[in-house]
Structure 1
């Protein structure tokens, strides 16, 4: 499956890095998490399961996290966990 940076007319938000990034940010709402915890949370998300007919690969999660880091939405704390940049 091909992923795009932004959703388009024929690309669902769940198939874009921006859409998956939103799920990643939601996963980080309660506390900072390690990459494997975020990946597990995203795979459990019903919206992702339904729209993608399966799960999201680790490569795609890493790309979404890279995108979020570049735009300043997430950061790494001293323990190497991901957290919202506003924290």
Structure 2
């Protein structure tokens, strides 16, 4: 069963700071994770999925007014891990 991150309202990142690790949701090497039904706004990046994401599902999220981008999917590869 995947880990689920769901139903959150995230408006917590300061957009003036910038730099690494700035995301309403920032996950490094997530395996079998579901991210769904979240509201993410006024962040530097709405959602940052970083390095080695496998078997991840992103659905039903609302993202707006993020200063750089809503979704950053970085250096991810491989088949779903089951």
Report which of the two has the higher share of strand. Answer: 2
- Normalising by the residue count of structure 2, what TM-score does the alignment of the two structures yield? 0.26
- Normalising by the residue count of structure 1, what TM-score does the alignment of the two structures yield? 0.25
Report which of the two has the higher share of helix. Answer: 1
